[in-house]
Amino acid sequence: MSAAEKAKAKAEQTTGKAEKEVGRAVGNERLEADGVVRESKGNLRDAKESGKDALKD
């Protein structure tokens, strides 16, 4: 996995997790849902890059 893509995935996961927790804490369902989506995108990006790496080897 390229370092840039790995960093993007981790940043997206972290931002999503934080957004989800803030939404949960303040009772904002939309913010919480947006956080879940962003975290999922980060997880998917990470899985995609890991798959690419597995095919290279």
Instruction: List the pLDDT tens digit at each of the 57 positions of the chain.
Output: 577 888 899 999 999 999 999 999 999 999 999 999 999 999 999 999 888 888 886
d(CA 46, CA 55): 14
- In single-letter form, the type of residue at position 7 comes to A
pLDDT of residue 44: 94
The answer to whether the pTM exceeds 0.75 is yes
